[in-house]
Chain A
Amino acid sequence: MRTQPRLTPEAEHLAEQERLLEELTEQLTTKEAEFAETGSAFARFRAEYLRRFAPLYAELDRLEAEIARRIAQDEATPAAHAKAADAATRAEETQRALDDGLADIADADEETGPATPAPELKALYRHAAKRIHPDLATDDAEKERRHTLMAALNAAYAAGDADAIQHILDDEASRPEAITGDDIGARLMRAIRRNAQVRGRFTELVELTAALRSDPLFVLFEASRADWASAHDPLAADEASLRERIASAHARLAALVMAAAKRPTQAGA
């Protein structure tokens, strides 16, 4: 048996750490792409939900508040007055949700790209994310610089702007700092530190996703996502049901108005 010369333990450790880093970086960029896509899709869903549902809920709650007010006027009981006050508060909150939400999404409209990123765009994003990911930086200044670049990359990805991503890549490649060379000890320290940072970012992504899941709007988005992808309108049944309730509220209010018109006035009695 012929045995090739073995590497020093330090060199073996370095090779192992660099291989691990390569693998973790690959996994992290996949996760980042998924996270960015989810964020972008959620922003679109939020805008869609707001445009379709907030006006309907605002109308429904306004009608319910008016119905409760008329009933309280007629019954003049503490319970009816309390119910009317609650209904009025709810109607105000819903109107505020509509107004605030519409203002929020006005800017976001300009940033949203195609619903499903093209495979080429996805590949370009992943390539760029590998090059500039902040958690692959080894000092704070470089990390901060990469944060800014990563935000620009995510915005370009969300907007479906391949040219902007390529521009980020070209700028990065032309930096003199892109060329590095160092002794084995420094490389090992760098690889270990980068590995720890990449693992940290994994944990952060998991926590961010968990935080999102505490939002009912995100829960509704996730429940609807498969349908959305298949071009089936996942909110159609919700919207139809809401419109039925609005129609019913209109009918009840009309009945109250009619009844009030028919009642003899105090003066007439």
Chain B
Amino acid sequence: MTDNRSKALVPQGPTSLSPLSRLAERTLAERVEREERALVTARTLVVGPGGYTTISAAVDAARDGDTVLVRPGRYEESVVVEGKTITIRGDGERDAIVVGRDDGPAFTLAKTRSTLTGLTITGGGPCSESEVGAGLRVTDGAPQLDGLRVTANRGIEFKGGAAGAIEHSQFDGKYRGIYVWEGSSPRIEENEIWGNALAGIYIEGAGTDPLIRANRVHDGEGVGILVCEGASPRIEDNEIWANGSAAISIGGSGTDPLVRANRVRDGQGCGISVFGGAAPRIEGNEIWGNAFIGIAISDAGSDALVRANKVHDGKGPASIGIYVWEGASPRIEENEIWANACTGIRITGARTSPVIIGNIVRDGFDDGIWVLQGASPTIEGNTITDNAREAIRVDRDANPKIGRNVVSA
């Protein structure tokens, strides 16, 4: 280590092991031995004809390392897995292995690293101010949920600082698909979420920082992915289309997710909407064919970085490429914006002072950039060509700083 700032906090990487590190080495070796012993002694407990009649009974009898194999059938129960680490696996056609009841969650997973796979989860409730009534609740711990079908219910919920993962699963519920809050940070990867009445994925609260990657979120009635109240997930490489509201909506002070390399298309609302002082980094996304604004940023404190996105072919009468208003001051740089039905970039409102630099705005069916209603953006180094109306239109009451742009009408 070459300076004293790191010494204050981080112990040195050892040249030879300290006595305490040697103890840790023993702990790690003993862990491996225990895991190997557990594998040798692991049992399989079957639920269904000839075996346990309920999943709950098998789970209660299971020890760490055991597998509970669930045969096809409808299991109207609320299973609780707490503390132990087991695998619960559907053994047969997933749609024929249905777990759930209408007055409680199908599964509650607490303080567990268990694996759940190959099941259909339905039912849930009850709902209250503090309970979303999810079909599957993860209250803490780090379970692995893989290959589930979550249907006709209020989705699944991670709360109480839960981690773990949900992946390769399908959600078509009546409410939200996946609900993450209270500082939980699961990995949400390669799921398909469609037809939900509210947000497909809902992320809320400070310290709630899941990874949301490579999911397909479509045909919901509400927002595709909603991030709010200080949550800062990483949202990347998802495909989001044909939702009833914004594809990705980000709101609230301290909410600063990374939104990168997503494909957002054909929605009825905005592509990406930022409001209420949120400050995300929005980078490398492609946004097209939406009926409303491509990227909308509003409100004081909404200091997003909007960089290297492609926003094109907005098809509604109000399909502005990027719209900044109500005092927001994002930095908008190196985006390519083309062939939108309305203005390429529009900036309105007093105290609205974004920096717009190095963008290409072309082939639009309206103005390239329009500044109005007292806005004071900095517009520099952009290339604004071949738009149907003015390259840069400035209303009399606006006060932009404009320089070094390459423009043509």
A and B co-occur in one complex: yes
**Residue from B1, B162, B405 within 8 A of A208 (CB atoms):** B1
**A226 contacts the other chain (Cβ, under 8 Å)?**
yes
**Residue from B9, B24, B28 within 8 A of A36 (CB atoms):** B9
Q: Which residues in A have their C-beta under 8 angstroms from that of B18?
A: 97, 217
Q: How far is the CB of B210 from chain A (nearest CB, A)?
A: 12
Q: Which residues in A have their C-beta under 8 angstroms from that of B30?
A: 238, 241-242
**Residue from A7, A49, A148, A154 within 8 A of B9 (CB atoms):** A154
Q: Which residues in A have their C-beta under 8 angstroms from that of B162?
A: 230
Contact flag A158-B9 (CB < 8 Å), given A100-B19, A116-B207:
yes
Q: How far is the CB of A70 from chain B (nearest CB, A)?
A: 23
- What residue in chain B is nearest A41 (Cβ atoms)? B9
Q: How far is the CB of A249 from chain B (nearest CB, A)?
A: 14
Contact flag A147-B23 (CB < 8 Å), given A214-B13, A220-B28:
no
B207 touches A119 (CB 8 A): yes
- What residue in chain B is nearest A135 (Cβ atoms)? B3
Q: Which residues in A have their C-beta under 8 angstroms from that of B407?
A: 1-2, 4
Q: How far is the CB of B82 from chain A (nearest CB, A)?
A: 11
B19 touches A97 (CB 8 A): yes
A230 touches B8 (CB 8 A): no
A53 touches B27 (CB 8 A): yes
**B10 contacts the other chain (Cβ, under 8 Å)?**
yes
**Residue from B28, B206, B408 within 8 A of A2 (CB atoms):** B408
Contact flag A46-B4 (CB < 8 Å), given A97-B23, A230-B141:
no
A53 touches B11 (CB 8 A): no
B23 touches A43 (CB 8 A): no
A39 touches B111 (CB 8 A): no
Bound Cα distance A148, B5 (Å):
7
CB-defined interface of A93-107 with B at 8 Å, one 1/0 digit per residue? 110110011000000
Contact flag A211-B12 (CB < 8 Å), given A101-B20, A217-B24:
yes
A219 touches B19 (CB 8 A): no
- What residue in chain A is nearest B206 (Cβ atoms)? A119
**Residue from A134, A216, A220, A231 within 8 A of B140 (CB atoms):** A231
A208 touches B8 (CB 8 A): no
Contact flag A7-B20 (CB < 8 Å), given A147-B3, A219-B28, A230-B140:
no
Q: Which residues in B have their C-beta under 8 angstroms from that of A154?
A: 5-6, 8-9
**Residue from A5, A97, A213 within 8 A of B404 (CB atoms):** A5
B19 touches A101 (CB 8 A): yes
CB-defined interface of B88-125 with A at 8 Å, one 1/0 digit per residue? 00000000000000000000000101000000000000
Contact flag A232-B111 (CB < 8 Å), given A39-B6, A39-B9, A155-B8:
yes
The A41-60 residues at the B interface (CB cut-off 8 A) are: 42-43, 46, 49-50, 53-54, 57
Bound Cα distance A5, B407 (Å):
12
The B214-240 residues at the A interface (CB cut-off 8 A) are: 230
- What residue in chain A is nearest B14 (Cβ atoms)? A215
A208 touches B13 (CB 8 A): yes
Tell me the dominant secondary structure on chain B's binding face.
Answer: loop
B11 touches A46 (CB 8 A): yes
**A38 contacts the other chain (Cβ, under 8 Å)?**
yes
B17 touches A40 (CB 8 A): no
Residue of B1, B4, B11 contacting most chain A CB atoms (<10 Å): B11
**A229 contacts the other chain (Cβ, under 8 Å)?**
yes
Contact flag A57-B26 (CB < 8 Å), given A6-B404, A46-B11, A215-B14:
yes
Bound Cα distance A17, B25 (Å):
46
A35 touches B6 (CB 8 A): yes
Residue of B5, B6, B185 contacting most chain A CB atoms (<10 Å): B5
Q: Which residues in A have their C-beta under 8 angstroms from that of B25?
A: 216
Q: How far is the CB of B21 from chain A (nearest CB, A)?
A: 5
**A256 contacts the other chain (Cβ, under 8 Å)?**
no
Q: Which residues in A have their C-beta under 8 angstroms from that of B404?
A: 4-7
**B130 contacts the other chain (Cβ, under 8 Å)?**
no
Bound Cα distance A160, B130 (Å):
30
B24 touches A49 (CB 8 A): yes
**B212 contacts the other chain (Cβ, under 8 Å)?**
no
Q: How far is the CB of B34 from chain A (nearest CB, A)?
A: 6
Q: Which residues in B have their C-beta under 8 angstroms from that of A150?
A: 3, 5
**B22 contacts the other chain (Cβ, under 8 Å)?**
yes
Contact flag A35-B10 (CB < 8 Å), given A230-B142, A230-B162:
yes
Q: Can you give 14 contacting A-B residue pairs, CB < 8 Å? A: A4-B405, A36-B9, A94-B19, A100-B19, A153-B5, A155-B9, A215-B13, A216-B25, A216-B28, A217-B18, A223-B28, A227-B141, A232-B140, A242-B30
4 closest cross-chain pairs (CB), A and B:
A211-B13, A97-B19, A39-B9, A39-B10
- Supply 8 further A-B pairs (C-beta < 8 A) apart from A6-B404, A212-B10: A4-B407, A39-B9, A119-B230, A213-B13, A215-B11, A229-B185, A231-B140, A241-B34
